[in-house]
């Protein structure tokens, strides 16, 4: 007799994005002549840049000739790509060995899978609100009890609120794994060096491990802010960094990311090098490498011309973010984010519950956003608007909110 993994049964139904999809579809069925402007799911909309397209074509062409054909590649990813990424970190003032960089098919799979190299009874702390994958992967990994109202027993939720500028205080009890995301999805907050240092110091003292999601690092416009956790002294001893080309270069559907597991990383029962080795073992067992064609595209992103073009792409989305934030602030709505991240995190007027506000904005303005409470209990009373979209759609959505939202 086979049995299902019981931890999957703890996952709460109505995962955020399917629920949004369902409500939007129901609205459209009742209002067949309306078009909904979608600022909900953070999905990229602008085409790949010319240099990246050429890189991907080259990846295909290499496979077309016997002398340049390749099959399975380097297990950790193409050496040239890892060298180019090491160069990016070098530009941030961080020296990495290419054996510390693991190329993957994206930051979501890595951030979900990384928990598997840690013991099941490790205590997990997460930012609240946060990217739902960290919670759900630890539920599946058996590190929680049951769930109710979007919270699971056994997890340590670290509230990120107006009062702490959306960066959490240290957990009140000893924890072993700490998930941090900066710039943050959904709040748009980007951590300072000093804020990150509080966690690095804590992790080093307690031999805890920080799992740092840097998927939005290139959206940081304030040059004083760190673009990698390794800018904090000592972070290599206690932090894993996960990142992606998805948002930076429109690779959401193409799929390419990377994870840094420093050789200096330690935890309670692992000496330097062991965690790096375990991740290699995990990836070589459960994953067979990112597509060689796509890695060629990644190399093109990191070329000088590719970087220029992707900065323009990022600038395009950030101009959208500014339009959203200014439009809402013009209505007297309190907004956060949108300056170092492509998300605007707005307070719902009058403290309206997030889902009620979702329905209201959909109904009155035909705009789809994301209810803050879907990212964790402390997201209640907030609403996320994504800056990923065509300029005209963003402008139309903001105009519609200005014209039609009753306050």
Find the largest Cα–Cα distance for the chain.
Answer: 66
The residue written with tokens 């941030």 in the block is: 92
Q: Does 101 bind ligand PLP (CB under 6 A)?
A: no
Contact range with ligand PLP by CB under 6 A, out of 147-155, 228-236, 242-250, 350-358: 242-250
Q: Does 213 bind ligand PLP (CB under 6 A)?
A: yes
- Burial string for 86-107 (b: 16+ CB within 10 Å, else e) reads bebbeeeebebebebbbbbbbb
Q: Which strand (E) or helix (H) includes residue 177? A: strand 177-181
Q: Find the binder of ligand PLP among 151, 161, 221, 252 (CB under 6 A).
A: 252
Site string for ligand PLP, 327-366 (x = CB under 6 A): ----------------------------------------
- Burial string for 230-247 (b: 16+ CB within 10 Å, else e) reads bbbeebbbbbbbbbbbbb
- Render 263-312 in DSSP notation, one character per residue: TT--BTTB-TTHHHHHHHHHHHHH-----HHHHHHHHHHHSHHHHHHHHH
Q: Please, what is the minimum distance in Å from the beta carbon of residue 2 to ligand PLP?
A: 30
Contact range with ligand PLP by CB under 6 A, out of 100-108, 139-147, 226-234, 276-284: 100-108
Cβ-in-10-Å burial (0-12, 13-18, 19+) of 184 comes to buried
Strand ranges in 34-137 using DSSP code E only, listed in sequence order = 37-38, 101-104, 124-128
Q: Does 127 bind ligand PLP (CB under 6 A)?
A: no
Closer CB to ligand PLP, residue 185 or residue 266?
185
Closer CB to ligand PLP, residue 181 or residue 189?
181
Closer CB to ligand PLP, residue 196 or residue 365?
196
Q: Does 384 bind ligand PLP (CB under 6 A)?
A: no
Q: Find the binder of ligand PLP among 108, 143, 227, 325 (CB under 6 A).
A: 108
Three-state SS at 169: coil
Size of the site for ligand PLP (CB under 6 A): 14
For residues 144-183, which are near ligand PLP according to CB under 6 A? 181
**Nearest residue by C-beta to ligand PLP?**
106
Pick from 241, 231, 219: nearest CA to 192: 231
What is the contact surface with ligand PLP in residues (CB under 6 A)?
42, 106-108, 131, 181, 185, 213, 215, 244, 246-247, 252, 257
């Amino acid at each position: 007799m086979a049995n299902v993994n019981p931890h999957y049964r703890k996952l709460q139904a109505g995962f955020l994005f399917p629920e949004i999809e369902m409500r939007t579809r129901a609205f459209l069925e009742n209002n067949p002549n309306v078009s909904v402007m979608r600022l909900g799911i953070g999905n990229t909309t602008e085409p790949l840049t010319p240099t990246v397209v050429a890189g991907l074509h080259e990846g295909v062409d290499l496979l077309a000739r016997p002398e340049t054909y390749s099959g399975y590649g380097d297990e950790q990813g193409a050496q040239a790509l890892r060298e180019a990424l090491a160069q990016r970190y070098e530009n941030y003032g961080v020296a990495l060995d290419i054996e510390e960089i693991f190329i993957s098919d994206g930051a979501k799979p890595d951030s979900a899978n990384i928990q598997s190299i840690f013991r099941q009874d490790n205590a997990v702390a997460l930012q609240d609100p946060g990217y739902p994958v960290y919670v759900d992967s630890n539920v599946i990994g058996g590190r929680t009890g049951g769930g109710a109202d979007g919270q699971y027993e056994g997890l340590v939720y670290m509230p990120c609120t107006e009062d702490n500028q959306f960066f959490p205080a240290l957990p009140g009890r000893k924890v072993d794994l700490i998930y941090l995301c900066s710039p943050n999805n959904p709040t748009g907050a980007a951590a300072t060096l000093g804020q990150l240092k509080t966690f690095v110091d804590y992790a080093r003292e307690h031999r805890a491990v920080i799992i740092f999601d840097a998927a939005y690092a290139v959206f940081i416009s304030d040059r004083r802010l760190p673009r990698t956790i390794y800018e904090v002294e000592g972070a290599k001893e206690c932090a894993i960094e996960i990142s992606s080309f998805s948002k930076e270069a429109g690779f959401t559907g193409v799929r390419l990311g990377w994870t840094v597991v420093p050789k200096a990383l330690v935890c309670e029962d692992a000496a330097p090098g062991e965690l790096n080795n375990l991740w290699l073992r995990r990836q070589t067992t459960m994953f067979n490498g990112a597509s060689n064609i796509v890695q060629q595209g990644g190399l093109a992103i990191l070329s000088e011309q590719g970087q220029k073009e992707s900065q323009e792409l990022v600038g395009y989305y950030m101009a959208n973010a500014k339009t959203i934030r200014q439009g809402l602030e013009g209505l007297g709505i309190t907004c956060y984010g949108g300056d170092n991240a492509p998300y605007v995190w707005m307070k719902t007027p009058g403290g309206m519950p997030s889902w009620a506000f979702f329905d209201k904005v959909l109904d009155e303005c035909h705009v789809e956003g994301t209810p803050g409470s879907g990212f964790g209990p402390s997201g209640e009373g907030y609403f996320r608007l994504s800056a990923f979209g065509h300029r005209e759609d963003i402008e139309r959505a903001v105009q519609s909110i200005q014209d039609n939202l009753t306050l």
